[in-house]
């Protein structure tokens, strides 16, 4: 009977999910007069930077809050022809993996570096959900500075969550897979052969360099989301897991059987001790580590071959499972670090666990047996309490500084505010529609700034002008400064937003880089000034040392290229002024443009396939005479003996056409 009820609940919720939830009808949701709270006058700055994941676009976008104005799309895991990311010779290595060049991924979560549990503004991290990787973005340049791949992992979803002094980022695998030497096993042998792993990525104190410190080998469940402990729970990590049924097919039914799945509590300080004591096992693997070098304006790609694995089924006091109703998604720790909120997608309550009770349960061995060799703490022994009747389909929870939690409900399309200690629902507002994540500035840290909660919605039917079969995804900003949440603005987003984070503009704004200093440019093919511009042939490789400055290239006439040549345009932007990039594009190139920042060198590879004279030009409207910023390159037949020549400002004599 119980099982039948479960199936019924699943069916009801699945049906509700398909019709995209209970849509609030009619109203725009904005009360008169409240929209001006989102108004930032022309020429004025926003109060917060909002970094938003781009989902299946693979990128991250940066908006202002509360205006919702889009400032920048940062290319991370996907090629971006607008900025030449993944097209320039310098940036191609950033997208290399152990599988080769991967031009796309699925970025779900963002995370900021922290010091003492507060956002410090230095770096932003993002996860690749498909080919498991984590990226670090330098907040000074708004550019992806480093990408590390994760071996023994398949689908890096519970990532990249961070500890309160940026000791580690975690990356838990969504899909369990066979790991180890023999991976050619029947899918039906899931229960015997499939394993999940969680990677702990260390972050260099000064420069943020990422390295895989260790991995935990875990039962074959799906790890979904995660949060680090804070304050008293610093040293611990909490992960939601579903599919504790270990189904290998039709998960929508087969992974919804059990009444409770788990939250996994990980004592990473303990793991560190075991690591020091030499209890880790070194495994031979292959994974990419790619890093951008600011001096050479070039990425380096390397393959690393070793990782250390700890087995918590043997090293008993690293991991503990806590039962959590039902297919939990979000797993969020409150600012005090005492409370851990599990959000079961199919659960009728929100369970709140207590860190101190978890510690006591472990001390008292208040267990309900084991799962995959890991102790299972009794539900009641870990539980602080349950929020009753909160809504349908809880997904994620963020916090303000006053002891309140804000939980998103996908199925009932709403945000519900409740008090963490008392577990009382205080307020609810509709979202338009089917909210996924939500975000309060600093709402996942020890110091939330409160003020707003931003909803990231999956569906926007009827909110925007139609654009064919697909409509924009969107964000909605709610003012949470009063007792009642108040919708103040909708704005469309790029890709599908999953998680996002915000921080006060003051943490980044004055440190933001304005130019790259030309005299510090260590690119091997830099052109320091126009006099150094030249073209050099090395066999069939032709290196063009080109400079760009308002409003010409040097050289801008090149002859003596032959079919079969590979031409490398190394373009240095000589400008030393803020916001004066130059672009570079060649007719017919099987490539994107370059967009070269002041003081930077970028390289476009071009293999001409037809004889002719090809124009190239600057693509970025840089000056009044931008339209004049152009040149020609002549390509002759393979056997031609035309010498290689180049020039700028050499105007042909009136009669030169006669020769
Ligand atoms: S998820 S909409 Cu990929 Cu973070 Cu919950
Ligand atoms: Cu340089 Cu337009």
pLDDT tens across 538-547, in order?
A: 999 999 999 9
Nearest residue by C-alpha to atom 1 in ligand 1: 498
**Which pTM does this prediction carry?**
0.95
pLDDT of residue 627: 97
Nearest to 649 by CA among 556, 560, 532: 556
Alpha carbon distances (Å) from 336 to 74, 191, 405, 448, 547: 33, 38, 12, 11, 55
* CB 260 near ligand 1, within 6 Å: no
* CB 499 near ligand 1, within 6 Å: yes
Cα(619) to ligand 2 centroid in Å equals 6
The tokens describing 330, both together, are 């979000």
* CB 574 near ligand 2, within 6 Å: no
Buried b (16+ CB within 10 A) or exposed e, 619-638: bbebbeebeebebebbbbee
Dist. CA 138–CA 291, nearest whole Å: 11
* CB 620 near ligand 2, within 6 Å: yes
Cα(580) to ligand 2 centroid in Å equals 8
Distance of CA 30 to the CA centre of its chain: 30
Residues sharing a CB contact under 8 Å with residue 468, sequence separation 6 or more, in sequence order: none
Nearest residue by C-alpha to atom 2 in ligand 1: 436
Is the backbone peptide bond immediately before 287 cis, with ω within 30 degrees of 0? no
- Looking at the CA of 410, which ligand is closest? 1
Dist. CA 234–CA 162, nearest whole Å: 11
Dist. CA 131–CA 589, nearest whole Å: 29
Backbone angles phi, psi at 362, to 5 degrees: -70, -45
Are 126 and 109 contacting, i.e. CB atoms less than 8 angstroms apart? Answer: yes
Cα(109) to ligand 2 centroid in Å equals 36
pLDDT of residue 31: 80
- Looking at the CA of 596, which ligand is closest? 2
* CB 622 near ligand 2, within 6 Å: yes
Cα(623) to ligand 2 centroid in Å equals 6
Atom of ligand 1 nearest to the CA of 436: 2
* CB 436 near ligand 1, within 6 Å: yes
- First CA to last CA across the chain, in angstroms? 96
* CB 437 near ligand 1, within 6 Å: yes
pLDDT of residue 653: 76
Dist. CA 629–CA 622, nearest whole Å: 9
Contacts of range 189-192, beta carbons closer than 8 Å, 24 or more positions apart: 190/220, 190/246, 190/247, 190/248, 191/220, 191/246
Atom of ligand 2 nearest to the CA of 580: 1
* CB 331 near ligand 1, within 6 Å: no
- Looking at the CA of 630, which ligand is closest? 2
Spell out where 458-617 has E strands: 473-479, 486-493, 500-504, 534-538, 541-549, 552-554, 557-562, 566-573, 582-586, 594-596, 601-606, 612-617
Cα(589) to ligand 2 centroid in Å equals 19
Cα(502) to ligand 1 centroid in Å equals 17
Cα(554) to ligand 2 centroid in Å equals 13
Alpha carbon distances (Å) from 2 to 243, 246, 254, 257, 392: 18, 20, 15, 10, 20
The tokens describing 500, both together, are 């996002």
Q: What is the Cα Rg of the chain in Å?
A: 27
* CB 552 near ligand 2, within 6 Å: no
Dist. CA 213–CA 218, nearest whole Å: 17
Dist. CA 516–CA 526, nearest whole Å: 13
Cα(530) to ligand 2 centroid in Å equals 16
Atom of ligand 1 nearest to the CA of 157: 3
| Residue among 56, 132, 156, 224 whose CB has most ligand 1 atoms within 8 A, to mutate | 224
425-430 and 349-354 strand pairing = unpaired
Query: Please, what is the Cα angle at 284 between 281 and 286, to 5 degrees?
Result: 135
Atom of ligand 1 nearest to the CA of 108: 3
| Residue among 107, 159, 436, 500 whose CB has most ligand 1 atoms within 8 A, to mutate | 436
Cα(438) to ligand 1 centroid in Å equals 10
Query: Please, what is the Cα angle at 622 between 617 and 627, to 5 degrees?
Result: 45
* CB 138 near ligand 2, within 6 Å: no
349-354 and 281-293 strand pairing = unpaired
Atom of ligand 2 nearest to the CA of 582: 1
Cα(588) to ligand 2 centroid in Å equals 19
* CB 582 near ligand 2, within 6 Å: yes
- Which residues of the chain have a pLDDT value below 50? 1-24, 658-659
Atom of ligand 1 nearest to the CA of 408: 2
| Residue among 393, 397, 499 whose CB has most ligand 1 atoms within 8 A, to mutate | 499
* CB 498 near ligand 1, within 6 Å: yes
Atom of ligand 2 nearest to the CA of 620: 2
* CB 75 near ligand 1, within 6 Å: no
Torsion of CA 643, 646, 650, 653, to 10 degrees: 20
Cα(552) to ligand 2 centroid in Å equals 8
- Looking at the CA of 395, which ligand is closest? 1
Nearest to 323 by CA among 382, 236, 243, 272: 382
* CB 523 near ligand 1, within 6 Å: no
pLDDT of residue 34: 85
- Looking at the CA of 240, which ligand is closest? 1
Cα(555) to ligand 2 centroid in Å equals 15
* CB 258 near ligand 2, within 6 Å: no
Cα(636) to ligand 1 centroid in Å equals 55
């Amino acid at each position: 009977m119980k099982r039948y009820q479960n199936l019924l609940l699943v069916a009801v919720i699945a049906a509700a999910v398909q019709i995209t939830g209970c849509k609030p009808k009619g109203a725009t949701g904005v009360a008169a007069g409240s929209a001006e709270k989102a108004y930032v006058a022309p020429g004025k700055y926003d109060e917060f930077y909002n970094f938003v994941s781009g989902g299946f676009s693979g990128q991250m976008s940066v908006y202002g809050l509360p205006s919702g104005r889009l400032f920048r799309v940062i290319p991370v895991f996907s090629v971006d022809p607008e900025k030449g990311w993944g097209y320039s010779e310098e940036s191609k290595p950033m997208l290399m993996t152990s599988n080769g060049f991967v031009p796309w991924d699925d970025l779900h979560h963002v995370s900021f570096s922290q010091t003492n549990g507060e956002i410090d503004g230095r770096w932003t991290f993002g996860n690749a959900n498909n080919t498991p990787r984590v990226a670090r973005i330098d907040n000074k340049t708004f550019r992806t500075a480093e990408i590390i791949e994760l071996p023994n992992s398949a689908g890096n979803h519970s990532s990249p969550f961070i500890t309160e002094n940026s000791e580690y980022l975690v990356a838990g695998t969504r899909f369990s897979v066979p790991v180890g030497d023999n991976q050619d096993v029947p899918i039906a042998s899931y229960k015997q052969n499939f394993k999940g792993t969680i990677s702990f990525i260390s972050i260099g104190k000064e420069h943020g360099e990422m390295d895989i410190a260790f991995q935990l080998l875990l039962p074959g469940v799906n790890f979904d989301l995660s949060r680090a402990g804070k304050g008293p729970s610093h040293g611990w990590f909490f992960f939601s897991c579903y599919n504790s049924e270990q189904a290998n097919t039709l998960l929508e039914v087969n992974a919804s059987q059990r009444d409770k799945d788990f939250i996994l509590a990980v004592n990473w300080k303990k793991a560190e001790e075991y690591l020091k004591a030499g209890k880790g096992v070194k495994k031979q693997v292959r994974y990419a580590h790619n890093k951008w070098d600011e001096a050479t304006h070039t990425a380096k790609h390397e393959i690393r071959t070793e990782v250390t694995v700890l087995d918590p089924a043997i090293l008993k006091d690293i991991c503990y499972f806590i039962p959590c109703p039902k297919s939990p998604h979000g797993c969020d720790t409150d600012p005090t670090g005492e409370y851990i909120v599990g959000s079961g997608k199919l659960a009728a309550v929100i369970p709140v666990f207590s860190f101190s009770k978890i510690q006591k349960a472990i001390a008292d061995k208040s267990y309900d047996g084991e799962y995959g060799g890991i102790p299972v703490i009794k539900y009641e022994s870990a539980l602080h309490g349950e929020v009753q009747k909160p809504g349908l389909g809880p997904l994620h929870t963020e916090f303000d500084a006053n002891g309140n939690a804000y939980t998103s409900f996908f199925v009932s399309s709403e945000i519900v505010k409740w008090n963490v200690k008392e577990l009382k629902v205080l307020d609810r507002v509709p979202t338009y529609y089917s909210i996924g994540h939500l975000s309060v500035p600093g709402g996942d840290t020890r110091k939330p700034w409160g003020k707003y909660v931003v909803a990231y919605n999956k569906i926007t039917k009827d909110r925007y002008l139609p654009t064919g079969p697909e409509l924009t995804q969107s964000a909605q900003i709610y003012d949470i400064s009063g007792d009642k949440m108040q919708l103040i603005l909708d704005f469309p987003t790029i890709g599908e937003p999953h998680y996002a984070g915000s921080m006060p503009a003051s943490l980044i704004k004055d440190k933001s880089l304005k130019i790259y200093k030309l005299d510090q440019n260590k690119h091997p093919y830099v052109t320091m000034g126009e006099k150094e511009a030249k073209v050099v042939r090395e066999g069939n490789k032709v290196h063009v040392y080109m400079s760009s400055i308002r409003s010409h290239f040097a050289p801008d006439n090149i002859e003596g290229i032959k079919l079969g040549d590979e031409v490398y345009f190394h373009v240095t932007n000589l400008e030393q002024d803020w916001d004066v990039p130059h672009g570079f594009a060649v007719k017919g190139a099987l490539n994107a443009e370059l967009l070269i920042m002041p003081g930077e060198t970028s390289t476009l590879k071009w293999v001409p396939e037809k004889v002719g004279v090809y124009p190239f030009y600057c693509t970025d409207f840089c000056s009044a005479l931008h339209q004049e910023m152009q040149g020609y390159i002549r390509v002759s037949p393979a056997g031609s003996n035309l010498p290689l020549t180049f020039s700028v400002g050499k105007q042909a004599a009136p009669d030169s056409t006669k020769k």
